[in-house]
């Protein structure tokens, strides 16, 4: 076997190892129920849950509770299966939080609590204005 063949094999081997490790580290999009089952069966990997903020009858966001020092907060997220879950987040409220159409929370259950380590907001696009501001 030539040295260059050994090298080629090594490269291919590493590439396969990369794919396998990616598959192992990739997270998943799940519902709150699935996330809870995963956590109770001892799977502590962080997962993604996509949902919307709970809205009141007039379309206003309800269920946001700030800690007294404003440094953390919790909110109610309704996932695609319509399950509502209180999510705790250890950062101050992102300023355009209530404007977001969709929220992706990354984290997992700690007991009965869902604790997010990161949240991604899908806001009505920052680059595409929704309404004309008809100031003349």
Partner 1 sequence: MLHYFIGNLGHLFVITSFVTGLLAAFSYWRASSTNDLEARLAWIVNGRASFIAHAVAVIGVIVCLFIIIYQHYFEYHYAYAHSSLRLPGQYMISCFWEGQEGSFLLWIFWHAVLGLVLMATQKQWEAPVMTIVALVQSFLASMILGVVIPGLSLKIGSSPFILLRDAMNDPIFTLQPDFIPADGNGLNPLLQNYWMVIHPPTLFLGFALTLVPFAFALAGLWKRSYTSWIKPALPWTLLAGAVLGIGILMGGYWAYETLSFGGYWNWDPVENAVYVPWLILIASLHSMLIYKHSKTALKLSLILVLSVFILILYSTFLTRSGILGDASVHSFTDLGLSGQLLIYLLFFTLGAGVLVARRWKEIPTSEKEVSTYSKEFWIFLGAATLCLMGFQVLVPTSIPVYNRLLEIVGVESNLAPPANQIEFYSRIQLWFAVAVALLSGTGQFFWWKKMDRDKLRQELLLPVLATLVVFAILMLATGVKDPAYMALMVSGLYIIISNLRVLHRTWKVNAGLSGGAIAHIGLGLMLLGVLYSAGYSKVVSLNNTGLLYNREMGTEFNRDNLLLFVNETRTMGGYDIEFLGERLEARHKSGYIKRNDVDRTDDPFQVVAKRDILFDGKKLYNAKDTFEILPENTFYEIQLRKGNTVSASLYPRIQLNPGMGGFMASPDIRRRLDRDLYTHVSAPMNRDSEPEWSEMEEVRVKLGEKFFVNDYVSVLEQVERVYQLPGMLLTDEDVAVRATIKIEGEHDTYYVEPLFLIRNQNEVGRIPSETGDLGIKIALLNIHPNSNEFSLGLQTRQKDWVIIKAMEKPFINILWLGTGLLMIGFSVAMVRRFREKGDISSTQ
Can you read off the two tokens belonging to residue 106?
């990354």
Phi and psi based region of residue 70 (left: phi greater than 0; alpha: psi -120 to 50; beta: remaining): left
CA–CA dist 101, 89 (Å, integer): 18
CA–CA dist 50, 79 (Å, integer): 6
Can you read off the two tokens belonging to residue 9?
């094999």
Taking CB under 8 A as the binding criterion, the range among 35-43, 54-62, 123-131 that sits at the site for partner 1 is 123-131
Interface residue with partner 1 among 1, 111, 112, 125 (CB under 8 A) is 125
Contact (CB, 8 A) for 98 and 61: yes
How many residues belong to the site for partner 1 (CB under 8 A)? 58
Closest approach, Cβ 105 to partner 1, in A, equals 11
Taking CB under 8 A as the binding criterion, the range among 35-43, 52-60, 97-105 that sits at the site for partner 1 is 97-105
CA–CA dist 129, 106 (Å, integer): 28
Does residue number 98 form part of the binding site for partner 1 (CB under 8 A)? no
Contacts with partner 1, residue ranges (CB under 8 A): 2-4, 7, 10-11, 14-15, 18-19, 21-22, 25-30, 45-48, 50, 67-72, 88, 90-93, 95-96, 99, 102, 104, 106-107, 117-118, 120, 122-129, 131-136
């Amino acid at each position: 076997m030539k040295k260059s063949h050994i090298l080629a094999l090594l490269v291919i081997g590493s590439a396969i190892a990369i794919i396998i490790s990616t598959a192992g580290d990739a997270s998943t999009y799940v519902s709150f129920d699935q996330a809870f089952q995963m956590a109770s069966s001892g799977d502590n990997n962080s997962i993604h849950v996509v949902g919307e903020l709970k809205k009141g009858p007039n379309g206003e966001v309800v269920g946001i509770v700030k800690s007294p020092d404003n440094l953390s907060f919790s909110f109610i997220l309704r996932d695609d299966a319509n399950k509502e879950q209180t999510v705790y987040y250890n950062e101050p409220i992102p300023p355009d939080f209530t404007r977001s159409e969709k929220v992706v929370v990354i984290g997992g259950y700690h007991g009965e609590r869902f604790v997010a380590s990161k949240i991604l907001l899908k806001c009505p696009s920052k680059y595409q204005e929704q309404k004309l501001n008809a100031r003349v």
